[in-house]
Structure 1
Amino acid sequence: MNKAKDLIDAVQKRLFTNTYQLQRIVILTAVVLALTVAGFGGYYYYDRYHRPQPKIAASSIEAAEKAVAEDPQDAAKRLNLAETYLANRRYEDAIAQAQEVNAAYPDDQRAWFILGIANALGGRPAEAVEPLEKFLEANQDAEMPGLNKTLQSAAYYLGDSYLKLGQPDKAISPLERAVDWSQTDADAMYKLGMAYLGVRAYENAANMFIQATRFVPNYTEAYQGLAAAFQGLNEPGLVNYANGMAAFSTKDYSKALDLLLQAAQARPDFAPIFSGLGMTYEAAGDLQNAKTSYEAAVKLDPNDFTANTGLQRVNALLNK
């Protein structure tokens, strides 16, 4: 129980304070600036957040294929084609091109990376592991990995591949690196939380799920993972909190209120519950109860960023 209490105190002090919010803004700004530096890991972001326009995609593929046809022995051109296929989700084609290079140049790191990512995204986690492990090992002494999207994506997909293979213990190390190298990546935080959950490291799991929801407030899966972590910590009141926030994230406000009110009765000392109630009441249009809930959260934790900003927002609406 002491460990659970320590986790709760850490959550309230670290993840719900103005200071930490400002730190995140600084980190996010740095990441945005880093994204302006192009590298062959860029299509990692394409796959997760962006889909190329069909006409542009067809044109880029045609140009890359033509370059290889004109000079089939040029490894760089073949890898450019593999990357183009990968960016357009033609995973098998990307693998085929990278394998050609890998056969001729077994130590080509670019080929390792493409093989790992393409296999991971193509639903072949077992085949993704070896090339990604080799790529990360070869770059273990790289400077400023926090600015290297290629390393971040390799670590993320290696960890994700181990999770899909049912090996959460092996997923932890690469996912810890992914989170450390990209401290605004909610998906990496969620995956790391799942890895911790898989080895019953419930405190660490809860911390990761909470961090993920700070960046993506409607991250339903992260709240569900958080509920499982709190269940493992034998905190039924906080299980209701997590399930209530999961309901909030799916806009089931009636269910969210029911669970969050139960959580508030069980854990009246936990400020995030009242922040969650405030958010839910506000979303449901009950501004007076939203104000009361936000005020309760601020009373428990004057640095609760969500409650403070919510209270300002609700007061402005009530004073119109």
Structure 2
Amino acid sequence: MAVMRRKSATLMVMLGTMLLGSGCGSFAGHKNTDLGLAHIQSYEYEEAAASFDAAEAAGENARLLYRARGILDQNLGQYDLAVEDFLKSLSATSGIPGDMDFDTNYYLADAYIHLGKYDEATKVYDAILDLRKRDKEAYYMRGMARLNSEDHDGAINDFNKAMSLSPRNYDLRIMIYKALSANGFEEEGKGILEACLNNTDPNMTNYEKGQISYYLGNNADAQSYLELARNERDTEKAPVVLLLGQTGEKQGDYNYAVSVYKTFLAEDPNHPDIYNQLGLCQVSTGDYEGAVNSFEAGLALGSSEYDRALMMNEITAYEYAGNFAQAKTLMEKYRKAYPNDLDAEREEIFLSTR
């Protein structure tokens, strides 16, 4: 493992939302490790473990193998083991750290955060920032770790640095607002969003104005901006439609929201996130059959990013409809794919009594 300037900054951790990492690709001659990663994508965890055992027996690259095992551990909720495996992967690195090592360090920090070890996660981000001083993601994630460890001032400093590195990244500002709000600092978070509108960026799009207005609770303004954005020729429509429908939901106008989602999906059906939101809206109106159809349409698109939410929401729709037998069957499938979901474990116990 490469040694840095500070004793605590041995490069240790990519973001938990990334499953297989970016820029890593498939490594020729490491077929068992690659096969195991493919099994993880298919939620076949026993098969993945067997592939990694075969990789070890075949003497495949330790750096790749331990990293892959750490990813499996995280998917199983075994974060202590994940930490051990990611550290072993990083120890097998020789020379200057590459993109994969930074990616593994992000995974490591994510495992520490799940364990509530925020100081350890912070040290990992320190190490990343020693080498990548303009890494806005690391500043943001370190801010999150500090916020969770009740270091408010340190978190704000990191958030401000991340924002300074991304002066027009409004998604980042919304994430910071959500984090501050969830930790009891909603007014401070709102101040960040209000500054976005008050500074009057001449390049700010109607969609961005709509986003900020939505999170500030100005639903009428949000709806107006988003309707304008929906009719703009060069604007990506899916995120606009998703938020536009939610402005209707927040105001209790579910018919409007359903109409927005269905109109869009009739023209462009390849959006599992919008099928998911449509289904949730239909659950709210008591249209459980329609909700199930929406969730199943989303699942049929095969998007691993949204499968988890779609599966759980379909189970909920069947529960509301009183079809506990089908809900129980689907829950067994869900639990196999996501064994570390403790809320689902409790729900499974509830269904077993129906």
- TM interval, shorter chain, is 0.3 to 0.5
TM-score norm. by structure 2 comes to 0.42
TM-score norm. by structure 1 comes to 0.46
